[in-house]
A and B are shown apart, each in its own frame.
Chain A
Amino acid sequence: MLYIFCPHCGSRSQNEFAYGGDATVKRPELNKEISDQEWNNFVYLRKSPRGKHLELWHHISGCRQWIKVERDTSTHEIFKTYKADELTE
Chain B
Amino acid sequence: MSQDFRLDNIGMVNRNKKISFTFNGKKYFGYEGDTIASALIANGVHLVGRSFKYHRPRGFFGVGVDEPYAILQLERNNERDPNIRATEQEIFEGLEVKSVNCWPSVNFDIGAINNFLKMFFPAGFYYKTFMWPPSFWYKIYEPFIRMAAGFGEASIKHDKERYEHKYEYCDLLITGSGPSGLASAYAAAKNGARVILAEDKPRYGGSLLTSDVNVGNQTGAEWSEKIITELKSMSNVIVKNRSQVFGYYDHNMLVMSERISDHLPKTQKYLPKQRLWYIRAKEVLISSGSIERPLVFGNNDTPGVMLSSAAKEYIKVYGVLVGKKPLIFTNNDSGYETAIEFKKNGVNPLILDTRKEPSSDIITEAKNLGIEIKYSYVVVAAKGYKKVKSADIAKISDNKKDLSNIENIECDCICVSGFWTPSIHLASQSGNKSEFNEKIDAFIPKKSKQKENTIGSANGKFTLEETINEAFNKGYEVSNKITENNNKVSVPTVVEKKSTEHDKFWCVPLPKGKSYKRFLDFQNDVAVTDIELALREGFRSIEHVKRYTTLGMATDQGKTSNLNGLQLVSDIENKVVPQVGHTTFRPPYTPVSIGAIVGREVGKHSKPTRKSPMHEWHEKNNAVFVDAGVWLRPRYYKQGNETLFEASKREAKNVRKNVGVCDVTTLGKIDVKGPDAAEFLNRVYTNAWLKLPVGKARYGVMLREDGIVMDDGTTTRISENHYHMTTTTAQAANVLSHLEYYLQLVWPELNVNVVSTTEQWAGAAIAGPNSRALLMKLFPNTDVSNEALPFMGYKEADLFGIPAKIYRISFSGELAYEVNVESDYGNFMWEKIIEVGKEFQIQAYGTEALSTLRIEMGHVAGSELDGRTIPHDASLEGLVSKKKDFIGKRSLSRSAFTKPDREKIVGVVPLDKTTSIPEGSYIVKDPKAKLPNPKLGHVSASCWSVEYDNPFSLAIIKDGKNMIGQKLFAMSPLKNKTIPVEIVSSHYVDPEGKRVRA
Partner of B251, one of A31, A58, A64, A76: A76
Contacts of A20 in B (CB 8 A): 741
Report the separation of the CA atoms of residues A39 and B733 in the bound assembly, to the nearest whole angstrom: 27
Instruction: Check if B706 sits within 8 Å of A43, measured CB to CB.
Output: yes
B885–A30 CB distance below 8 A? yes
A18–B252 CA distance with the chains assembled, in angstroms: 20
- With a cutoff of 8 Å between Cβ atoms, the chain A residues found around residue B890 in the complex are 28, 34, 39
Q: Check: A75 CB closer than 8 A to any chain B CB.
A: yes
Q: B-facing mask of A16-54, CB < 8 A → 1, else 0?
A: 001010000001101100101001001110000000000
Interface status of B13 (Cβ within 8 A of chain A): no
- Shortest C-beta distance, B277 to chain A (Å), equals 13
**Interchain nearest-CB distance for A55 vs B (Å):** 12
For the complex, give the distance between the alpha carbons of A36 and B898 in Å: 14
Instruction: Give B742's nearest chain A residue, CB to CB.
Output: A27
Q: Which residues of A contact B250 (CB under 8 A)?
A: 1-3, 76
Q: How far is the CA of A31 from the CA of B887 in the complex (A)?
A: 11
B581 within 8 A of A: no
> Are A36 and B740 in contact, CB atoms less than 8 angstroms apart?
no
Given known A-B contacts A27-B746, A43-B891, A3 and B885 have beta carbons under 8 A apart: no
Separation in Å of the B828 CB from the closest CB of chain A?
Answer: 32
- Flag if A66 contacts B741 (CB, 8 Å): yes
| Known contacts A43-B705, A43-B706, A66 near B745 by CB under 8 Å | yes
Q: Are the CB atoms of B251 and A3 closer together than 8 Å?
A: yes
Q: Note all chain B residues with C-beta closer than 8 A to A42.
A: 705
**A58 near B741: Cβ-Cβ < 8 Å:** yes
How far is B469's CA from A81's CA once the two chains are assembled, in angstroms?
Answer: 40
The B-contacting residues of A in range 44-84, CB under 8 angstroms, are 44, 56, 58, 60, 64-66, 75-76, 78, 84
Q: Is the pair A2, B251 in contact by a Cβ cutoff of 8 Å? A: yes
Known: A27-B746, A43-B891, A66-B744. A58 touches B253 (CB 8 A): no
Smallest distance from the beta carbon of B754 to chain A beta carbons, Å?
9
- Is A39 a contact of B737 with CB atoms below 8 Å? no
Residues of B within 8 A of A66 (CB): 740-741, 744-745
**Interface presence of B674 (CB below 8 A):** no
Query: What are the residues of chain A within 8 A of B706 when measuring CB–CB?
Result: 43-44
Q: Would you call A84 and B748 a contact (CB within 8 A)?
A: yes
Report, as a range, how many residues of chain A touch the other chain: 20 to 34
Question: Does A85 belong to the interface (CB within 8 Å)?
Answer: yes
1/0 per residue B241-264: CB within 8 Å of A? 000000001111100000000000
A56 to B740, CA, bound (A): 13
Considering the chains assembled together, what is the distance between the CA atoms of A66 and B748 in angstroms? 12
| Known pairs A3-B280, A36-B894; A65 contacts B744 (CB<8 A) | yes
Q: Is B44 an interface residue (CB 8 A)?
A: no
**Cβ-defined contact, A39 with B891, below 8 A:** yes
* B431 interface hit (Cβ, 8 Å): yes
A39 to B706, CA, bound (A): 9
Q: Is A88 an interface residue when CB atoms closer than 8 A count as contact?
A: no
The verdict on B683 contacting chain A, using a C-beta distance below 8 Å, is yes
Per-residue CB contact flags for chain B residues 67-100 toward chain A (1 = under 8 Å, else 0) read 0000000000000000000000000000000000
What is the bound-complex CA distance between A30 and B683, given in angstroms? 9
Interchain nearest-CB distance for A34 vs B (Å): 7
With both chains docked as a complex, state the minimum distance between the C-beta of A10 and any C-beta of chain B, in angstroms.
12
Kindly provide the distance from the CB of B100 to the nearest chain A CB, expressed in whole angstroms.
Answer: 34
Taking a contact as CB atoms under 8 Å apart, the answer to whether A75 and B431 are in contact is: yes
The interface residues of chain B lying within 8 Å CB-to-CB of A39 are 890-891
Interface centre among B705, B733, B737, B744 (most CB of A within 10 A): B744
Residues of B668-691 whose CB lies within 8 A of A: 683
Partner of A1 from the list B249, B733, B745, B885 (CB cut-off 8 Å) is B249
Q: Which residue of B lies closest to A4 (CB)?
A: B251
A38 nearest in chain B by CB position = B890
Looking at the assembled complex, report how far the CB atom of B889 sits from the nearest CB atom of chain A, in whole angstroms: 9
Q: Is the CB of B891 within 8 A of A1?
A: no
The residue that A60 contacts in the complex, of B251, B683, B737, B748, with Cβ under 8 A, is B737
Residues of B within 8 A of A85 (CB): 744, 748
User: Which residue on chain B has the smallest CB distance to residue A83?
Assistant: B744
Asked whether, in the complex, the Cβ of A56 is within 8 Å of the Cβ of B251, the reply is: no
How many angstroms from the CA of A25 to the CA of B891 in the assembled complex? Answer: 17
Known: A3-B253, A36-B894. A58 touches B683 (CB 8 A): no
Compute how far the CA of A60 lies from the CA of B393 in the bound complex, rounded to whole angstroms. Answer: 69
Q: Report whether B740 and A64 are in contact in the complex, using a CB–CB cutoff of 8 Å.
A: yes
Measured in the bound complex, the distance between the Cα atoms of B167 and A59 in whole Å is 19
- Please determine whether B745 and A84 come into contact, CB atoms closer than 8 angstroms: yes
**In the complex, which of the residues A18, A31, A75, A84 contacts B737, with contact meaning CB atoms closer than 8 Å?**
A18
Closest to B249 in A: A1
- Name the residue among B249, B278, B737 with the largest chain A CB count within 10 angstroms: B737
Closest to B733 in A: A60
Q: What A residues does B683 contact at CB under 8 A?
A: 30
Determine the chain A residues whose CB is within 8 A of the CB of B737 once the complex forms. 18, 58, 60
A35 to B212, CA, bound (A): 81
CB of B705 within 8 A of CB of A3, answer no
Closest to A29 in B: B885
Which residues on B sit within 8 Å (CB–CB) of A18?
Answer: 737
Q: Which residues of A contact B740 (CB under 8 A)?
A: 58, 64-66
Task: Write out the residue numbers on chain A whose beta carbons fall within 8 Å of the beta carbon of B894.
Answer: 36
Q: What is the distance, in angstroms, from A85's C-beta to the closest C-beta of chain B?
A: 5
B741 contacts across to A, CB distance below 8 A: 20, 58, 66
B891 near A3 with CB under 8 A, answer no
- B756: nearest chain-A partner, CB-CB: A64
A27 to chain B, nearest CB (A): 5
Q: Which residues of chain A come closer than 8 Å to B746, judged between CB atoms?
A: 27
Convert B727-752 into 0s and 1s, putting 1 for each residue whose CB lies closer than 8 angstroms to a CB of A: 00000010001001100111010000
CB distance from A4 to the nearest CB of B (A): 8
Q: Which residues of A contact B733 (CB under 8 A)?
A: 60
Contacts of A56 in B (CB 8 A): 745
Residue of A nearest to B683 (CB): A30
When the two chains form their complex, are residues A1 and B251 in contact, meaning their CB atoms are under 8 A apart?
yes
- Shortest distance from the beta carbon of A15 to any chain B beta carbon, whole Å: 10
Q: Cβ of B249: which chain A residues have Cβ within 8 Å of it?
A: 1
Question: Could you mark each residue 887-923 of chain B with 1 if its beta carbon is under 8 Å from any beta carbon of chain A, else 0?
Answer: 0001100100000000000000000000000000000
Considering the complex, which residues of chain B in the window 506-546 have a beta carbon less than 8 Å from any beta carbon of chain A?
Answer: none
Please report the C-alpha to C-alpha distance between residue A60 and residue B732 in the assembled complex, in whole angstroms. 13
Residues from chain A with Cβ under 8 Å of B744 in the complex: 65-66, 84-85
Determine the residue in chain A with the shortest Cβ distance to B250: A76
Residue of B nearest to A30 (CB): B885
Residue of A nearest to B741 (CB): A66
Given the complex of chains A and B, what is the CA–CA distance between A54 and B746 in angstroms? 16
Q: Give CA–CA (A66, B754) in the complex, Å.
A: 14
Q: How far is the CB of A88 from chain B (nearest CB, A)?
A: 12
Chain B residues lying within 8 Å of A27, measured Cβ to Cβ, are 705, 746
Q: Tell me how far the C-beta of B363 lies from the nearest C-beta in chain A, rounded to whole angstroms.
A: 48
Expressed in whole angstroms, the Cα–Cα distance for A56 and B280 within the complex equals: 23
Tell me the B265-312 residues at the A interface (CB within 8 Å). Answer: 278, 280
Q: Which residue of A lies closest to B754 (CB)?
A: A64
CA distance A60 to B890 in the complex (A): 29
Q: Most A CB atoms within 10 A — which of B251, B705, B737, B885?
A: B251
Most A CB within 10 A of own CB, among B733, B746, B890: B890
Give the residues in chain B near A44, CB-CB below 8 Å. Answer: 706
9 nearest interchain CB pairs? Answer: A3-B251, A30-B885, A84-B744, A31-B885, A76-B250, A66-B744, A1-B253, A39-B890, A27-B746
Interface positions of A (Cβ within 8 A of B): 1-3, 13, 18, 20, 27-28, 30-31, 34, 36, 39, 42-44, 56, 58, 60, 64-66, 75-76, 78, 84-85
* Beyond A36-B894, A44-B706, A65-B740, 4 additional pairs, beta carbon < 8 A: A58-B740, A66-B740, A84-B744, A85-B748
30 pairs, A vs B, C-beta closer than 8 Å:
A1-B253, A1-B278, A2-B251, A3-B251, A3-B252, A3-B253, A13-B280, A27-B746, A28-B890, A30-B683, A31-B884, A31-B885, A36-B894, A39-B891, A43-B705, A56-B745, A58-B737, A58-B740, A58-B741, A60-B737, A65-B740, A65-B744, A66-B740, A66-B745, A75-B431, A76-B250, A78-B251, A84-B744, A84-B745, A84-B748
